[in-house]
């Protein structure tokens, strides 16, 4: 949440948001699986104005070796924003924010990936944000799940993610950059629909207990919509006749 500037009109008198969406509408989401030849699995997502590439490698040997675990595989996630991905050039060095987002995405994916099948190995997930427009951690998590599945790594479920929040005093689905900066709350959610488990839940801003519950319900609706798009991306790669690579 940024300055919460009072002058920005985030919701008009008809309940329409500044980018033309209704309060319960996500931005357009498109996902393509298997876009990188040299990765074991990959995906490209456009989530509104966000453009993110995910590349997965492994299970593979761990270097340095002392980081490996004889009982299970480990998951490593690097979320990185390109300097040109935002209006004001981002310094190339990893920021505290990128380290935090890498950590929360890793923790959101871990319950889904059957790492216990691959002791002493690592699965590496690289997430490159080419263009950012609010909600990159959710979009990156969506792409990471598809890339992991594309790599053939056994998973309990696909993790789907979408944020809900509050702007213009209304609860809204899929918070864009402007709403994130000037709105009242942003709540990214990661969810495994088949298992009914939430694996990512953050809240930046202020909500009443009632709004908090409604925001989760709204966010889960968005997650479920993204889930269908993720499955379609995988179907398209594996069940269509066209050559994807
Ligand atoms: N952002 C930016 N410069 C930065 C970091 C972020 O302009 O150095 C923008 C970017 O559009 C991002 C948004 O701020 O999507 C919200 O960032 P936040 O930390 O809330 O994470 P996100 O919503 O992307 O998961």
**pLDDT tens for each residue of 57-102:** 999 999 889 999 999 999 999 999 999 999 999 998 999 999 999 9
| Residue whose CA lies nearest to ligand 1 atom number 3 | 86
* The dihedral formed by the CA atoms of 76, 77, 82 and 88, expressed in degrees to the nearest 10: -130
Pocket of ligand 1 (CB under 6 A): 86, 90, 97, 132-137, 177, 180
The mean pLDDT value for 104-123 works out to 98
Which residue's structure tokens are 């980081």?
A: 67
Q: What CATH number should be reported for the domain holding residue 174?
A: 3.30.230.70
Q: Is the pLDDT of residue 35 over 90?
A: yes
Mutate to test the pocket of ligand 1, among 86, 98, 104 (most ligand atoms within 8 A of CB): 86
**What are the start-end ranges of the E strands in the chain?**
29-33, 41-47, 50-61, 74-81, 121-131, 160-167, 170-173, 185-192, 197-201, 204-205
Q: Is the pLDDT of residue 6 over 90?
A: no
Q: Is the pLDDT of residue 7 over 90?
A: no
The mean pLDDT value for 40-55 works out to 98
**pLDDT tens for each residue of 132-147:** 999 999 999 999 999 9
The mean pLDDT value for 148-171 works out to 97
Please check whether residue 114 is in contact with residue 149, taking contact to mean a CB–CB distance below 8 angstroms. no
Q: Is the pLDDT of residue 244 over 90?
A: no
- Could you tell me which of 122, 149, 126, 144 has the C-alpha nearest to residue 59? 122
| Residue whose CA lies nearest to ligand 1 atom number 1 | 86
Q: Is the pLDDT of residue 179 over 90?
A: yes
Please check whether residue 172 is in contact with residue 161, taking contact to mean a CB–CB distance below 8 angstroms. no
The range of the structural domain enclosing residue 232 comes to 4-244
Provide the domain count of the chain. 1
């Amino acid at each position: 949440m940024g300055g919460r500037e009072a002058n920005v009109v985030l919701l008009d008198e008809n309940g329409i948001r500044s980018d033309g969406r209704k309060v319960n509408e996500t931005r357009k989401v498109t996902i393509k699986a298997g876009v990188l030849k040299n990765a074991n699995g990959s995906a490209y997502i456009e989530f509104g104005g966000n453009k993110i590439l995910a590349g997965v490698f492994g299970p593979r040997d761990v270097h340095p070796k002392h980081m490996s675990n004889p009982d299970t595989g480990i998951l490593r996630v690097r979320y990185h924003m390109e300097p040109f991905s935002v209006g004001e050039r981002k310094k190339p060095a990893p920021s505290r924010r990128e380290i935090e987002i890498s950590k929360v995405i890793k923790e959101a994916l871990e319950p889904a990936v059957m790492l216990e099948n691959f002791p002493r190995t690592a699965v590496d997930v690289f997430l490159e944000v080419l263009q950012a427009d609010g909600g990159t951690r959710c979009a990156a998590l969506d792409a990471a799940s598809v890339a992991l599945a594309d790599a053939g790594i056994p998973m309990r479920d696909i993790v789907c993610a979408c944020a809900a929040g509050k702007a213009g005093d209304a609860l809204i689905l899929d918070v864009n950059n402007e709403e994130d900066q000037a709105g009242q709350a942003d709540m990214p959610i990661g969810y495994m629909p088949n298992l009914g488990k939430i694996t990512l839940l953050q809240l930046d801003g202020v909500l009443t207990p009632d709004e908090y519950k409604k925001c989760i319900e709204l966010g889960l609706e968005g997650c479920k919509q993204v889930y269908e798009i993720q499955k379609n991306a995988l179907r398209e790669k594996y069940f269509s006749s066209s050559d994807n690579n």
